[in-house]
Structure 1
Amino acid sequence: MNSPPDPACEFRTSLNWLLHRAAQKLGTVAQEAAGRHGITMRGHIVLTALAGERSKRTQLALGHALGLDKTTLTAELDRLERAGLIVRQPDPNDRRVRVPVITGEGRAVQVEVEKLHHEVEREFIADLDPQEAKALRALLERLIASDHRPDSGSCL
């Protein structure tokens, strides 16, 4: 599974490159885990957002919360709906607007993929001792929180 580093990338040490490469490696394995249940990483993030909601929100509000544009979110919701993992209901306040709602099957898939993602993360950081893993997470959270510019792009 581990191939030798690309010679063109061997001497890359910039923080941007290191973070991107680590995210790319983790993301590839996480996507494979989600794919075992017929969804994408983005689909898992949508299901997770819907599973955790205490109140329903429109597609537009969901897209804003996840940093997904209308076209990307609609395509993802279409896939999830075809798979029976969500339904889109009319908004009681405006019947032209749709509210995505997770189904029972969607909740089950979300839980299973979440378990796989935790396993993938544990394997990814297995070479770190517990203190290093804790420090890595704390440092990344601090870096993200310290940047007060608006988020750009999606959460995935």
Structure 2
Amino acid sequence: MDLAPDLGCTSRAGLNWLLHRAAQKLGAVAQEAAVRHGITTRGQIVLSALASEEFQRTQLALGHALGVDKTTLTAELDRLERAGLIMRKPDPNDRRVRVPVITEQGRVVQREVEKLHVQVEREFTAGLEPAEAHALRELLERLIAVDHGPDSGSCM
């Protein structure tokens, strides 16, 4: 049974709604890709941050860098640690502080999910010309980089 589109929802053209709806659609498919490897999109973001670090960060510094509150990050790190994808080691400068470190298994999962996410993005933008997809990414990066007030957002 085909249902007519909800014009009350699809007719909204505000930029906030458009960006949010696009992010929801892309996020849902990206989440499915991550779940295939036993993690969430949040877990993938944490693993990617840990995999790309040239130096180790404390949990507090990692949370700040990702724009995530302590409770949310701790819960995600707990899940990743139980799955064997990260370890939390004592900070050599302050043994009360923990430093999350990605494990080799975590690196494998992170790379596999990253490949899936690249494919998901490619499929999501398949209706655009390559130059349009590139322009979209550049425009979004510029909008994010401009200081429009407090940065209360999170990448998770």
TM-score by length of 1: 0.94
| Structure 1 position 104 matched with structure 2 position 104 | yes
Partner of 1:41: 41
Letter in 2 for 1:41: T
- 1:93 is matched with which residue? 93
- Give CA-to-partner distance per residue, 1:86-137, whole Å, 9 cap, x none: 0000111111111000000000000000000000000000000111111111
Provide the rounded CA distance (Å) in 2 between the counterparts of 1:50 and 1:10.
Answer: 38
CA distance in 1, matches of 2:4, 2:105: 41
Secondary structure at the residue paired with 1:149?
coil
User: How far did residue 35 of structure 1 move?
Assistant: 0.5
Counterpart Cα distance in 1 of 2:151 and 2:4? 34
The residue that corresponds to 2:20 in the other structure is: 20
| Structure 1 residue aligned with 2:77 | 77
Aligned residues: 154
Shift of 1:148: 4.5
- How many Å separate the matches in 2 of 1:79 and 1:102? 13
**SS state of the match for residue 7, structure 2?**
coil
Give the distance between the partners of 1:32 and 1:20, measured in 2 at CA. 18
**Corresponding residue for residue 121 of structure 1:** 121
- Alpha-carbon distance in 1 for matches of 2:123, 2:61: 34
Q: Secondary structure at the match of 1:24?
A: helix
Q: For 1:76 and 1:10, how far apart are their aligned partners in 2?
A: 34
For structure 2, list consecutive stretches of 5 or more residues without a partner in the other structure: none
Gaps of 5+ in 1: none
Superposed, which structure 2 residues align to 1:40-59 within 5 Å?
40-59=40-59
Match of 1:143 in 2: 143
Measured in 1, the distance between the counterparts of 2:14 and 2:5 equals: 16
Q: Which amino acid aligns with 1:46?
A: V
Counterparts of 1:10 and 1:58 in 2: how far apart (Å)? 43
CA separation in 2, counterparts of 1:76 and 1:47? 10
SS in structure 1 of the partner of residue 57 of structure 2: coil
2: distance between equivalents of 1:9 and 1:30?
23
Q: What secondary structure is seen at the aligned counterpart in 2 of 1:9? A: helix
- Amino-acid identity (%): 77
Cα distance in 2 between the residues matched to 1:148 and 1:5: 34
Structure 1 position 142, deviation (Å) = 1.4
Amino acid at match of 1:105: Q
SS of residue in 2 equivalent to 1:31: helix
Counterpart CA distance in 2 for 1:129 and 1:102 is 37
